[in-house]
Structure 1
Amino acid sequence: MPVPPPALTTPHAGYHWPGGLLLSRARPFFEGWYYRVSLPEVGESFAFMYAIAEPAGGGATSGGFAQILAPGDERLYHLFDEVRGFWAEPDRLALGHSEPALPQPGLIDPARFASEVQLGYQATATLNQGVLKDAAWCYRIEPVAGWGRPGRPEATMGWLSYLPVFEPGWQILMAHGRATGWIEWRGARYSFEDAPAYGEKNWGGAFPKKWFWVQANAFEADPEAALIAGGGRRGFLWREESVAMVGLYHGGRFYRFLPEDGHLRCAVTPWGRWQIEAVSERYRIEVSGTAARDDGIELLAPTATGAHFVCRDTLKGSVQVRLSRRWGTRAVLFEGSTRLGGLETGGGPWEGEWQFRC
């Protein structure tokens, strides 16, 4: 099947596994992908997570999974014990996994996928399709904005992300996009057109020791605005560091807040409250996320010992964001809120509120 060129050529979109049995034995490796579509009309969202670990096979943690976070923070997942049915392209965003494996794994026409694949998925920059027990989905994606200025996506973690110094790597594939298609979930069918869409990925030897994440692109004040914020205790060369970043796409512009550009202050509880404040040379952003004690559900994530339930997520978090100039008049540039925020905490140990500056 011909692969249409994506609207955005995003750094790190391709598969990072270099191949080879020896490399698989030398150090752990995983790669994971995240697709989200929000449905403001019904006040719900879906997130699809795909992962592969030790792709050479034969290892204790070799395999993959497909996981769905669905309305009501319900969860569905399937573990692929065989890596043989997995495929991914090194030069673009394109991957899939099926069980049983296709005779020639690779991207196929959606109609053929629907008739031939009993269990699995295929995904690109412009397509997300799959089938699991009690769920099926197929929707097209129109990417609008990545991480960076419109039309010029950048590496989320900067030029050092091209060197093996971070664990793990993290890339926003699509800060904002529009999705059109359908999702069938446990007997209900959701059809949508131009729904807010989002995508990201990570790869490396392990997840951070602990981390948090905030994402939203269904703001009531501006449906085209998109927010992503995250932080973690990650490995950097021979040491560990606590680091965070925030990005906001609004009004055709991208506002980026990284430690090298300014200062960030974070205060996140094990569950319930996310607070991030950041300043750059010209701008200030304040991000607040809240979730009720009973909201959210534990999700699978890759670890050095295989996939485990080490994080908690909700797609119905309350998120507020305020962007302003640091100097001058008419300071407030954007102020928005949504009840379809994605919120996550993971890893640990979490001993009370986690506070740090970077």
Structure 2
Amino acid sequence: MVSNKELINEFKLKRAKSKYFYGQNKKNNYFEGWYFKHQKADECIAFIPGMNVDSKGNRLVFIQVVTNDNSYFVHYLYPEFNVSGERLSIGIGNSNFSEDGITIDIKEKDLSIKGSIKYADMVKLDSNIMGPFAPFSSKMQCNHEIISLRHRLSGKVTINDKIYNFDGGVGYIEKDWGTSFPKNYSWIQCNDFKNRVCSIVAAIADIPFMGRSFKGCICVVYYEGMEYKLCTYNGVKILKNDGTGMILKRGKYRLEIELNEENPQRILAPINGHLARSIHEHCGCIANFKFFIEEKLEFNLKSSNCNFEYVTD
């Protein structure tokens, strides 16, 4: 039986320090995970590869899978986890996740997932979504990074006997790391709008920070080649935030979101590095987005394919 100490030593020998992975030397109460979303028409698959270290130093590697109809959790031994020191590339078991695309090969007792999806034409933010909070990442309960707002997809994935064809679809990638997900938060992401190049992601959460707490917000609206940020650090005001939607205002910009939740799927989230909290993500959530500049309506768009989480204690 391989001891946990031996697994950690092997991990240190195998992996170089990397800006793409921050958990090399974490001994307890830590998690790090990536979110790879794939969307085409009414079909959506999100893969969440990640690792966590609980309060006792036990390490777990996993892949969570979320679709419109189901969710799956697959765990692995720690030596099966490999992160490149040169670029974004996460290997878990026989699966790999990178900026070029993903290759999935999962075989469990009642679960078979196999296929590959290639990425092209990534749209990246012009600056870190955490803004001036980025240098304080070690003091934050949960940190966030948007790797790609949108990119083109090509390829297929088969889950058991169902084939998902993502040729011509659109993707999204983000990342979280720290000790725990926020106690209360809401998050929405959508990049499926007919005849419009538009991607929207918004998150509002209770943020403990240096002995105090505040309501934090990060939001990006990418529309027809233009990027707009509505965040706590640049003066956003949260006018509404509940299970039915959000209203955010920053100077001359205002974003209104109305939501209709449908068919949530269970996934696991970290508390002090331990995956002990059940939350629910809605794939295929119906939402309407209105964006105003100087009180002039810039767009009014509806989508039936949004991903949404609303978590309260």
TM-score range normalised by the length of the shorter chain: 0.7 to 0.9
SS of equivalent to 1:334: strand
The residue number in structure 2 matching 1:246 is 219
Could you tell me how far 1:297 is from its partner in structure 2? 1.8
Matched, 1:320 2:308: no
Q: How does 1:219-238 map to 2 (within 5 A)?
A: 219-222=193-196, 224-238=197-211
User: Given that residues 134 and 185 in structure 1 are in contact (C-alpha distance below 8 angstroms), is that contact kept between their aligned partners in structure 2?
Assistant: yes
RMSD (Å), alpha carbons: 2.1
User: Given that residues 33 and 199 in structure 1 are in contact (C-alpha distance below 8 angstroms), is that contact kept between their aligned partners in structure 2?
Assistant: yes
CA distance in structure 2 between the partners assigned to 1:58 and 1:332 by the alignment: 49
User: What stretches of structure 1 move > 6 A for 4+ residues in a row?
Assistant: none
Matched, 1:178 2:152: yes
CA distance in structure 2 between the partners assigned to 1:58 and 1:306 by the alignment: 7
Matched, 1:76 2:72: yes
Could you tell me how far 1:302 is from its partner in structure 2? 2.3
Identity, in percent, stands at: 16
SS of equivalent to 2:78: coil
Could you tell me how far 1:130 is from its partner in structure 2? 1.4
Stretch of structure 1 that moved more, 299-308 or 123-132: 299-308
The residue number in structure 1 matching 2:29 is 28
CA distance in structure 2 between the partners assigned to 1:185 and 1:142 by the alignment: 23
The residue number in structure 2 matching 1:159 is 132
Could you tell me how far 1:258 is from its partner in structure 2? 0.9
Q: Decide which of 11, 14, 19 is 2:20's aligned counterpart.
A: 14
Q: How does 1:334-345 map to 2 (within 5 A)?
A: 334-345=299-310
Could you tell me how far 1:300 is from its partner in structure 2? 1.3
The residue number in structure 1 matching 2:114 is 136
CA distance in structure 2 between the partners assigned to 1:30 and 1:144 by the alignment: 26
Matched, 1:53 2:26: no
Could you tell me how far 1:305 is from its partner in structure 2? 5.7
Could you tell me how far 1:253 is from its partner in structure 2? 0.4
Stretches of structure 1 lacking an aligned partner (at least 5 in a row): 1-11, 99-116, 350-358
CA distance in structure 2 between the partners assigned to 1:190 and 1:240 by the alignment: 42
Could you tell me how far 1:192 is from its partner in structure 2? 2.6
Matched, 1:308 2:276: yes
Q: Deviations over 1:286-306 (max 9, x none)?
A: 1222214xx202211222262
Could you tell me how far 1:261 is from its partner in structure 2? 2.2
CA distance in structure 1 between the partners assigned to 2:86 and 2:144 by the alignment: 17
User: Given that residues 36 and 45 in structure 1 are in contact (C-alpha distance below 8 angstroms), is that contact kept between their aligned partners in structure 2?
Assistant: yes
User: Given that residues 142 and 176 in structure 2 are in contact (C-alpha distance below 8 angstroms), is that contact kept between their aligned partners in structure 1?
Assistant: yes
Could you tell me how far 1:141 is from its partner in structure 2? 0.8
The residue number in structure 2 matching 1:296 is 264
Stretch of structure 1 that moved more, 211-220 or 295-304: 295-304
Paired residue type of 1:94: S
CA distance in structure 1 between the partners assigned to 2:55 and 2:179 by the alignment: 17
Paired residue type of 2:255: I
CA distance in structure 2 between the partners assigned to 1:306 and 1:28 by the alignment: 7
Q: Deviations over 1:322-355 (max 9, x none)?
A: 111125xxx1111111000101123x41xxxxxx
Q: Deviations over 1:174-220 (max 9, x none)?
A: 11111111110120212232311011000112211121110100012
Matched, 1:66 2:63: yes
Q: How does 1:196-235 map to 2 (within 5 A)?
A: 196-222=170-196, 224-235=197-208
SS of equivalent to 1:260: helix
The residue number in structure 1 matching 2:87 is 92
CA distance in structure 2 between the partners assigned to 1:221 and 1:287 by the alignment: 19
Paired residue type of 1:211: Y
Stretch of structure 1 that moved more, 84-93 or 245-254: 84-93
Could you tell me how far 1:58 is from its partner in structure 2? 11
SS of equivalent to 2:133: helix
What TM-score comes out, normalization by structure 1 length?
A: 0.76
SS of equivalent to 2:276: strand
SS of equivalent to 2:134: helix
Could you tell me how far 1:59 is from its partner in structure 2? 4.2
SS of equivalent to 2:169: strand
Could you tell me how far 1:161 is from its partner in structure 2? 1.2
User: Given that residues 240 and 248 in structure 2 are in contact (C-alpha distance below 8 angstroms), is that contact kept between their aligned partners in structure 1?
Assistant: no
Greater share of residues in strand: 2
Q: How does 1:257-296 map to 2 (within 5 A)?
A: 257-265=230-238, 267-269=240-242, 273-292=243-262, 295-296=263-264
Q: Deviations over 1:211-247 (max 9, x none)?
A: 111010001251x210101111122222222212221
Could you tell me how far 1:126 is from its partner in structure 2? 1.5
The residue number in structure 2 matching 1:6 is none
